[in-house]
Amino acid sequence: MTMPVTQCLLKLHEDHHNLEDYQGGVPRWCSGCGDNAILAAVQRLCRDEDLSPERTVFVSGIGCSSRFPHYMKTYGFHGIHGRAFPVAEGIKMARPDLTVFVNTGDGDCCSIGAGHWIHAIRYNMNMTVMLHDNHVYGLTKKQASPTSPIGFKSNTTPRGSYLNALNPLTVTLGVQNVSFVAQAVDWVPEVLYDIISAAYHHRGFSFVRIIQRCPEFLPKMFESWLADPQKTLLLTHANGLTLTPELSRTYKNQLAHDPSNIDRAREIASGEDPIPVGILYRNPEVPCYEDVRHAGQMRTPEHIRVGLEAELDRFTVWPKNAEPAQRAV
């Protein structure tokens, strides 16, 4: 039967979303913080992909970056420090039909959450992960993080950080089952959006490290990179990023890189000056854990009820010589 015109119009109205449909609370990040650029790119992506807010989930841990779910008018879970990945994995296993994003920081992911991070790469569950890397613990007011540069003076390293910074790209590329790794910077918003979009369209664990500025505690950290476009190396490829003519005129330091070459990806990921920006590695053939485990198939209301009754029956004190009315199977 043909749908009436009025119902068609209502359905079109319901299915189409504007940018305002994804804008939650007013961001409380500092003026000039790179998190603002990431938020703008993600909200634009949600609008362009017309993601249903009620079927989209943002998960985070603790830190400046992890306030992200508060600023998205979707479902969100602001978790505890370092535990964003297991929460997101649980959501994906229970509801594989939902679109899941993870926002985490360099401390949240690479320090207390490092164990979860490594195994999340192995599981390769279909989610888009954004590592907001500003090289410092900002929310707790300037402590050294795992990605802080050597010599960095902070409240926890007053004489300067003693260790070389951890490289999240090379770590991720060294884990079995890795399927998508990219790097972006907050000061090139066009490329930032394109990389997050490519990560969203990849089926698997899409890991995007975003180097972002902290104007409060590291105000001069990336001044030379902003002043000199040659210090940003854009990775181009037919299966990677394609640049607009305007962007190519500004960022002339470019390298053709095939993202299927993991050995070359690891080599490029080791560079810091110039900063490589683009898709380093992509392998769509890696299986997703939720597919391997047939996620969601055993989550019917009846199955949940039977499971709960089975657990409750374990602790029920039945009258003498009485049997439960119904045993769960």
pLDDT tens track for 20-53: 999 998 999 999 999 999 999 999 999 999 999 9
CATH number, residue 155: 3.40.50.970
Q: Are residues 248 and 315 in the same domain?
A: no
Question: Binning pLDDT at 50, 70 and 90, where does residue 327 land?
Answer: very low
112 and 202 fall within a common domain: yes
Q: Are residues 250 and 286 in the same domain?
A: yes
Q: Give yes or no: residues 276 and 319 share one domain.
A: no
Do residue 273 and residue 307 come from a single domain? Answer: no
Q: Per-residue pLDDT tens for 263-314?
A: 999 999 999 899 999 999 999 999 999 999 988 776 677 888 888 888 888 8
pLDDT for position 240: 85
Taking the C-alpha atoms of residue 246 and residue 162, their distance in angstroms, rounded to an integer, is 42
Q: Does 7 map to a domain? A: no
Residues 221 and 186 in one domain: yes
- The string of pLDDT tens digits covering residues 50-108 is 999 999 999 999 999 999 999 999 999 999 999 999 999 999 999 999 999 999 999 99
* Any domain includes 3: no
Percent of the chain scoring above 70 in pLDDT: 92
175 confidence band (pLDDT: 50, 70, 90) = very high
Q: Model confidence over 133-143: pLDDT tens digits?
A: 999 999 999 99
Those residues with Cβ within 8 angstroms of residue 42's Cβ, 6 or more apart along the chain or in another chain: 68, 72, 101, 130, 196
In degrees and rounded to multiples of 5, residue 66 shows phi and psi of -80, 0
DSSP H or E stretch at residue 131: strand 127-133
* Domain encompassing residue 207: 19-290
Same domain, 131 and 114: yes
Instruction: Note whether 88 and 131 are same-domain residues.
Output: yes
Distance between CA atoms of residues 92 and 72, nearest Å: 19
Does a structural domain hold residue 11?
no
Number of domains in the chain: 2
Within this chain, do residues 168 and 50 fall inside the same structural domain, yes or no? yes
Residue 5 domain-assigned (yes or no): no
Total-model pTM? 0.88
| Cβ-Cβ contacts under 8 Å for 52 (sequence gap 6 or more) | 15, 17
Please check whether residues 257 and 316 belong to one and the same domain.
no
| Residue 8, in any domain of the structure | no
Q: Identity (one letter) of the amino acid at 99?
A: T
Cα(106)–Cα(30) distance, integer angstroms = 18
Co-location of 220 and 325 in the same domain: no
| 138 and 228 in a common domain | yes
